[in-house]
Structure 1
Amino acid sequence: MTSAPSLLDLAPVLPVVVLEDAADAVPLARALVAGGLPAIEITLRTGAAPEAIRAVADAVPEAVVGAGTVLGPRDVETAVAAGARFLVSPGWTDALLEAMRASGVPFLPGVSTASEAMALLERGVTEMKFFPARAAGGTGYLKSLASPLPRARFCPTGGITADDAADYLALPNVGCVGGTWMLPADALAARDWERVRGLAAEAAAVRPAR
């Protein structure tokens, strides 16, 4: 990600949302914002995602809605046209990076190795998604990158829970974490937005482990 204010500094936790029904997008976004999580990543894993992004962008101006699982230039076009204010990818290619740069919105390209992070740093990108965080080495791996790659900042995502989010946030090269634990499947199925709001508030209150 390349522009200010940084997505990594909006909130300690970035909810990663998968929606099957775009009608749920606005009440879900309002619940997350009310809980203190204004930045919301809606993944392009379902056909409902573009409509969901558009609905949140139109009806919940206090939310900073973005698109996740951005895999190529076409996804960039779709997401930005729907109103996405940031882009997140699980990895990156030169073609994707070029499209994300040209979009004019902040972006977090995904990395899971030091070499991938170094390649982005060479291209002037200092803010990245670390994915899949737990499977790729978790806090231990990220901590080991801090000294050799001091300019890189990360949003680790993938396998992070309420139990270890604070451990990630304690690392000097982590700005925020992505997760789904505030979006349990049963709460979404029941459209229990008050429960989502409460879980979002707990997530927003996460502080770095001491």
Structure 2
Amino acid sequence: MEQVLQRARPVLPVLVIEEVDLALDLAAALQAGGIEVLEVTLRTPRALEALQAIRRQFPELLVGAGTLIHTEQFAEARDAGAQFCVSPGCTERLAAAAEDCGLPYLPGVMTPSEVLLALEYGYRSLKLFPANGTTSVKMLKSFKGPFTGIRFCPTGGVTADNLLTFLRLPNVACVGGTWIAPHSLVRARAWDQISQLAVEARQLAGSLEVPA
């Protein structure tokens, strides 16, 4: 999973797709903005169908399934072509289902105990959820000491306004977010605006690589 997050940096778009006919245009818009990794959340009835369509049309993209909260969803996601899976939390049953399906897995954590549970199952790339602004930044800073070598993908509260605050942290691999492809722009088919949001996120992250 670490390689997936490295490729996703700076941002892993979290996509809620309600209409399959919009999925391909959305993926094309994000790719045009420099995005290489997508997360299609299983929050809508046609999410798996949309994921499958994107995988078929854009084999060069890495496409994962998110919001997996039931064990059977792992096999369903794998069969639809998902290349990785993401959950908002971490339980023993979900971890076992992830191991059975054989896909890279990004479990969600929020507390030190949840981090320890994920570590017991061998996961060192974790999703911090929800990422509530300054509180989560402080938590990630405090995690750096006891949890060396752990890399996080904060999600659920990250925006263009606080993107750099998270990316500056040494234990943050990338961030996840819906602001790159908000529901309003998807419904409006504002593909150029979505591409521009992706470009702007990458440009912001690029500023961190420029020596002061």
| CA apart distance, 1:122 | 2.3
Native 8 Å contact 1:112 1:136 kept in 2: no
Aligned twin of 1:86? 84
- Name the CA distance, whole Å, in 1 between partners of 2:46 and 2:133: 28
1:1-210 to structure 2, matched below 5 A, reads 1=1, 6-10=3-7, 11-134=9-132, 137-207=135-205, 208=208
Which AA in structure 2 matches 1:80? R
**Offset from partner CA, 1:123-160 (integer Å, 9 cap, x none):** 21100100001179321111110011112110000111
Q: Which has the higher helix share?
A: 2
Tell me which moved more, 98-107 or 157-166: 98-107
SS at match of 2:204: coil
Aligned residue pair count: 207
- Name the CA distance, whole Å, in 2 between partners of 1:42 and 1:149: 29
- Name the CA distance, whole Å, in 2 between partners of 1:85 and 1:205: 27
TM-score by length of structure 2 reads: 0.93
Native 8 Å contact 2:110 2:130 kept in 1: yes
SS at match of 2:39: strand
Native 8 Å contact 1:33 1:62 kept in 2: no
Native 8 Å contact 2:87 2:106 kept in 1: yes
Which AA in structure 1 matches 2:101? S
- Name the CA distance, whole Å, in 2 between partners of 1:29 and 1:148: 38
SS at match of 1:183: coil
- Name the CA distance, whole Å, in 1 between partners of 2:19 and 2:106: 25
Structure 2 gap segments, 5+ residues each: none
TM-score by length of structure 1 reads: 0.93
- Name the CA distance, whole Å, in 2 between partners of 1:89 and 1:145: 20
| CA apart distance, 1:206 | 2.7
| CA apart distance, 1:100 | 0.8
Native 8 Å contact 1:117 1:152 kept in 2: no
- Name the CA distance, whole Å, in 2 between partners of 1:95 and 1:58: 30
Change over 3 Å in CA distance of 1:162–1:136 after alignment to 2: closer
Native 8 Å contact 2:152 2:171 kept in 1: yes
- Name the CA distance, whole Å, in 2 between partners of 1:123 and 1:66: 20
Q: Percent identity?
A: 45
Native 8 Å contact 1:35 1:197 kept in 2: yes
Please give the root-mean-square deviation of Cα atoms over the aligned residues, in Å: 1.6
Which AA in structure 1 matches 2:176? G
**Offset from partner CA, 1:52-104 (integer Å, 9 cap, x none):** 00000000112111100011221101111110111000001111101112222
- Name the CA distance, whole Å, in 1 between partners of 2:40 and 2:182: 15
Native 8 Å contact 1:90 1:110 kept in 2: yes
